[in-house]
Structure 1
Amino acid sequence: MRRPPRDTAESQRRITRRGLVVGGLQLGVMGALALRMRYMQLEQADQFRLLADENRINIQLIPPTRGRIFDREGRIIAENVPSYRITMIREQARDVDEVIARLARLVELDPGELEKARRELKELRGDTPVTVADRVTWEDISRVAVNAPALPGVHPEVGLSRRYPLRDDHAHVVGYVGPVSDRDLDRIDAPEQLLRLPRFQIGKIGLEAQRENLLRGSAGTRRVEVNAAGRVMRELDRQEGQPGSDIQLTLDNELQTYANARLDGESAAVVMIDCETGDILACASSPSYDPNLFVRGISVADYRALLDDPYRPLPNKAVQGIYPPGSTFKMVTALAALEAGDVSLQDTVYCPGHLEISGRRFHCWKRGGHGNMDLHLSLRESCDVYYYELALRTGIENISAMAERLGLGVQFDLPMTSVAKGLAPTREWKVANRGEPWVVGDSANASIGQGFVLASPLQLAVMTARLATSRSVTPRLVKSIDGVEQPSGHGEPMGLNENLLREVRRAMYAVTNSNRGTAYRSRIIEDAFRLAGKTGTSQVRNISTGERATGVLSNDALPREQRDHALFVSFAPYDAPKYAVAVVVEHGGGGSTAAAPIARDITLQALYGEDPPLAAYPEADRPRIKAQQEKLRAARSRPTPEDSDRA
């Protein structure tokens, strides 16, 4: 059957249109290819000519500048300083041993560094730069540059290295950086190539590790032209990376330095908190160490000395150390019983020096007893029997709940290593962790901060700030990131009875300002800066019945490791609380003699912003304070590493 002429004409028109479209597409593709060929032959001719002449293009990572760390006033804590080093690329050097031999005639090479470099040159990819000599002088760099033609694959470089100008003052808070290790890489899922650069530094502990992602930044890249010998001919282009974020802490450099100097010679810790914002103004752990030793790898001898020190300089006692809080816990027991209605402010308990509980005698620290005690007197003179009785009336659950309300047994979210949770024990806790039921004697021990109760100096400082303000003050370490203010730790009202809190604060005032108070000798004379506090002594050994019969041995008669821990918590000024402080002196003996003077001195330093006048101290103490201030001024004016370098 023949198609109509009309249909045949329509089919021919369609075929013609399709042919035109296909032909147009072919012409377009051919035109694009022609333009690309012209661009490659004319515009990129020089580049391809270089490649054809045994040159090539390398893409290299540019390490980012690590973010700096400042104190609350913008003063430097951690900075980056120039560091000269010499690197080698194996595939460019070809005969590695021969090139190293030539280099050794120009620059003194450390045998240990050289052995490590040889190992890395064998194990790492052939195009990876390996550090052969670190921290060399500018003269060394110059000699290598002049002899570059004879040293294929050798590159003098200027990099940045971390430095902590205040050395040991912030070591436990800020931590330190160090070269990336295999262990570090194993802990990271899909580590970026930047971390595989030899000697690249990352945070190891402290804030440096906890905020590594913020401080590190992101790498940039550069495209360089190198010749057949691996020598860089020129840089073709560069894409800058993103520097790390600058972090401003709440710490005050001057106060932190003073606190470290004041703790010198002790195994101790101190934490000071701003009662308004929760800012941690000082967080010192003694003894400390110089974090600069770790930046490029600490020697075995130096590290062994730190490990073997009986005063334990490596742990941060301020947040990692947990101790029985002793009598500093008595405010918790008192508030728990008062809030539950199990005791009133007027109720008294008779203290004969002990209390019989379930056939066991629980002793007061004062062997002859205190007589009739109410809340005010029991805190002022730190009577133990009063709190044994309160524990029997109110029970451990109320005590534990109040402890957590005041910040004990709580793990605060702070960017420091191993922030301890402490322990506010309950019946369920003992069954789960000890496999034993709770007994009434456990409550008696807990009521005076002994037994299972554990707290860190940080938690005790938070507890004190909350008692002073009636608010749930929360500690804050980071003030701002790249200038952006971080949330305050001001806190909301805790909802506790203000009349009861006021009486507890009044009793704490009597501890330091009444001549019957346990910390009277550590009072502040200046009326505007009056101190309120509480002493504490926690036992680290059991006292036998026989020893009690013959007389309990004094701390001075015991080996250091068997002496009691000394504690003190305080806030000031009493009428308008500004600072809360907690001090723990390991094996210091009594809180009134070892810890209270430290807290008083640091508080005065903060209130005055400088060395306080002698008139702020009790008259009998002024000669000693004058000599102490002169000694501490000398300690705080020690030269920095930069000063030593200039000398």
Structure 2
Amino acid sequence: MRRTPADTEKSAKRITRRGLLLGTAQLALAGVLVGRMRYMQVDQADEYRMLADENRINIRLIPPVRGLVYDRKGVLLAGNEQNYSIVMVREDAGDPEEILTRLQKLVWISEEDKQKALDEMMRRSPFVPVTVAERVAWEDISKVAVNAPALPGVTPEVGLSRVYPLDSDFAHVVGYVGPVSDYDLSKIEDPDPVLQIPRFQIGKTGVENKHEEDLRGEAGTRRIEVNAVGRVMREIDREEGIPGANLQLTVNHALQNFSEARLAGESAAAVVMDPRNGDILAIASAPSYDPNKFVRGISSRDYNALLEDPYRPLANKTAQGTYPPGSTFKMVVALAALEAGVIDDKETVTCRGYKEVSGRRFHCWSRGGHGRVDLVRSLKESCDVYYYELAERVGIEAISAMARKLGLGIRPDVPLSGVAEGLMPTKDWKREVRGGDWMIGDSLNAGIGQGFVLASPLQLAIMTARIASGTAIEPRLVRSIDGVEQPVRGADVLDIDPSHLAAVRLGMYEVVNGTRGTAGRSRIVADGIRMAGKTGTSQVRNITAAERAAGVTRNEDLPWNRRDHALFVSFAPHDAPEVAVSVVVEHGMGGSLAAAPIARDIMLAALYDDIPPLDAYPSPQRGTIRSQFEMMNLREPLAPSQGRSRA
């Protein structure tokens, strides 16, 4: 049907109205968009510019330079050396395994190291660089640089790695560093972000571990520009980190080397202290090991050899090892009895070779006995019966209290790994730990440093230094941190009657210098530096009544690990002490036989600050001593000095 003109006009008006409404809506929408664009591009321009920068600028940490460790004379004990390494970024490499296979044709990388690198790359963000080879030669770095187009994601880098120039001499003291492990991170409440850097090294043992925060320093940062997919385009700027603090220890590198060389062939420990200020001058544990192997990655073969060695080279026997102190404990018992007033230094005790208590005999080392002995003679000849009697009279509580006053049974505050507390038993301790009452026989055994009593060589050195100085001196291993002197601790006078200390010192002097003294063969004859000391022999097995009746098996006829330990503690000069020494030789059989000669040599080396002069020794021994020095593996082989001056 045909439309009329009126219908056509009416329809046109309707379309015009709709067009106007639609046009108005479009204009309104365009106005909103223009306003929003103006708001974003003008009003919020600074904010979006900052967001854009954050998206294209990455911040990466720069490992700080680790602090150095020196001895008391400024000799480097732990330093840093240049280390060339090769790193890979997984995102840039595409196929990491294929790229590593290409890299292996240029640089030697074991299959084990290759797999470790791949595993680490899978655990970390694809943009984080992972070290695939360390300590590579410059020639290898050149090969990688020349073949860079065929090795996407692979970059050679130059960094620093820890090095110990004196090898094994300070392994147990300075310790070593190693890569941060998950276990390390689990022990830290708020880990430093720098610890997340792949293969970042931290202290694992010794001073390196205990002063980790001082030595580590603070990381630096560098800002790098990356493209849309995260690839590095250029470095914009960098802020270097703060190097770690330098530490100066109290130890003397030459004396430490002499001590290690003198202990060679033994499973033993020696500690040298200055009783005037507590400085540890040497602290040697033998045998030792090369800490550089751990920094560079020790092989399974080398590590297993260390673990399987019966002499336990990984253990720091000076601080971790605890031993029955044997007769070196007799000074403690004597002082406890003197302070309690149960005996004086002139009173005598009769030794018939044993003391009988409740039908049981406690034997003296001298089967025929010593006869009537006073305090000085009891120390000089190491009479056991005298100390059985004192222990019975004074009791374990007073003995234990005196031991703690002299530094035994208390963990020394030194920055070493696994420092032992030792054991000074009491009645409550036995009741709580062993579930039994304290017996009089326990006191008698403690009276000669056996039974439950345990002490480390470091603790024995502290005990000796306190007896020598009459002060409660504490050991000091770190002399300064970044040039700031560390305080001397414990210089207060001991709460012990000076006359009692003098009586004990006289007995120790007679041990070395008196007729029939147990360490007479180890005396020093040089004028002005006579030594005072005490021998000790501690059993590691029980001697049965049947064996004693049939004749006790000689130490030398027993397997090595069943022989007695040998101990010796000493100080010199006896009238103005400058050095205190303790030595423990595991299974050395006798203090006078094995430990005292070693202690004397170390004592003289400390006093002279050089190879000991031959004229400090009794003349019949000088030929043997000369030969001994010539055979020692000293870092700086010097002819024995003939002078008498000492530093």
Q: Would the TM-score normalized by the shorter structure come out above 0.5?
A: yes
* Cα separation, 1, equivalents of 2:173 and 2:351: 44
- Within a 5 Å distance, the mapping from 1:201-350 to structure 2 comes to 201-226=201-226, 232-350=232-350
**Whole-angstrom CA distance in 2 between matches of 1:230 and 1:180:** 26
How high is the sequence identity, in percent, across the aligned residues?
60
Q: Pairwise mapping of residues 39-188 of structure 1 onto structure 2 (< 5 A)?
A: 56-188=56-188
Where do 1:381-400 residues align within 5 Å?
381-400=381-400
Specify the SS of the correspondent of 2:528: helix
- The CA deviation at 1:235 is 2.1
Which position in structure 2 is the counterpart of 1:536?
536
**Offset at 1:68?**
1.0
Write the mapping of 1:574-613 to structure 2, written as runs, cut at 5 A: 574-613=574-613
Q: Which residue in 2 is equivalent to 1:11?
A: none
- For residues 458-508 of structure 1, the C-alpha deviation after alignment (integer angstroms, 9 at most, x for no partner) is 110000001011100100111111110111135200121111111110110
Give the superposition deviation at 1:232. Answer: 4.8
The amino acid of 2:244's aligned partner reads G
The aligned runs of 1:363-512 (5 Å cut-off) are 363-489=363-489, 491-512=491-512
Listed one character per residue, the Cα deviations across residues 402-442 of structure 1 (whole Å, up to 9, x for unaligned) are 11111111111111111111111111111111111001111
Matched, 1:362 2:346: no
Q: CA deviation at 1:298?
A: 1.8
Q: Secondary structure at the match of 1:144?
A: helix
The Cα of 1:391 is off from its aligned counterpart by: 1.1
SS at match of 1:541: coil
Superposed CA RMSD: 2.3
For residues 563 and 596 of structure 2, what CA distance do their matches in structure 1 show? 17
Deviation, structure 1 residue 578:
0.3
Q: Deviations over 1:315-353 (max 9, x none)?
A: 111001111000000011111111111001111001010
- Asked if the contact 1:425/1:452 (under 8 Å) is kept, the reply is yes
Tell me the alpha carbon deviations over residues 181-208 of structure 1, each in whole angstroms, 9 at most, x when there is no partner: 1222222224333212221111111111
Inter-partner Cα distance in structure 2 for 1:74 and 1:85:
30
2:352 aligns to what? 352
Q: Distance in 2 between matches of 1:344 and 1:175?
A: 47
1:217·1:244 contact (CA, 8 Å) conserved in 2? yes
What SS does structure 2 have at the residue aligned with 1:115? helix
Give the unaligned 5+ runs of structure 1: 1-29, 639-647
The 3 A distance-change label for structure 1 pair 40 and 337 is closer
1:234, CA displacement in angstroms?
3.3
CA distance in 2, matches of 1:232, 1:102: 22
1:56 is displaced (CA, Å) by 4.4
Deviating runs (4+, > 4 A) in structure 1?
Answer: 30-41, 226-233, 633-638
Name structure 2 gaps, 5 residues minimum: 1-37, 639-647
SS of alignment partner, residue 461 of structure 2: helix
C-alpha displacement of 1:101 = 3.4
Change in Cα spacing, 1:227 to 1:390, as seen in structure 2 (3 Å) is same
The change in CA–CA distance for 1:627 and 1:89 in structure 2 (over 3 A counts) is: same
Q: Partners in 2 of 1:615 and 1:88 — Cα distance?
A: 64
Structure 1 range deviating more: 593-602 or 144-153: 144-153
Count, aligned residues = 601
CA contact (8 A) 2:269 2:284 kept: yes
After superposition, what is the alpha-carbon deviation per residue over 1:236-278, rounded to whole angstroms, capped at 9, x for unaligned? 1112222111111111111111111110000000011111110
Q: Distance in 1 between matches of 2:325 and 2:440?
A: 20
Cα distance, 1:38 vs. partner? 9.6
8 Å Cα contact 2:77-2:164 kept in structure 1 = yes
Relative to the length of structure 1, the TM-score reads: 0.89
The residue type equivalent to 1:280 in the other structure is I
Seen in structure 2, the aligned counterparts of structure 1 residues 484 and 635 have a Cα distance that, compared at 3 Å, is closer
Deviation of 1:302 after TM superposition, in Å, equals 1.0
Within 2, Cα distance between the matches of 1:568 and 1:212?
A: 34
Q: CA deviation at 1:137?
A: 0.9
CA contact (8 A) 1:72 1:479 kept: yes
The whole-number CA distance in structure 1 between the counterparts of 2:561 and 2:151 is 59
**8 A Cα contact 2:71 2:249, kept in partner:** yes
2:120–2:130 contact (8 Å) kept in structure 1: yes
Counterpart CA distance in 2 for 1:635 and 1:75 is: 13
Q: Which amino acid aligns with 2:200?
A: F
How far does residue 33 in structure 1 lie from its aligned partner after superposition?
8.2
User: Once structures 1 and 2 are overlaid, which stretch shifts more, 495-504 or 433-442?
Assistant: 495-504
Supply the AA of the counterpart residue of 1:420: A
Structure 1 range deviating more: 553-562 or 581-590: 553-562
Q: Residue 184 and residue 255 in structure 1: after superposition, are their counterparts in 2 closer, same or farther (change >3 A)? A: same
SS in structure 2 at match of 1:202: strand
Larger Rg: 2
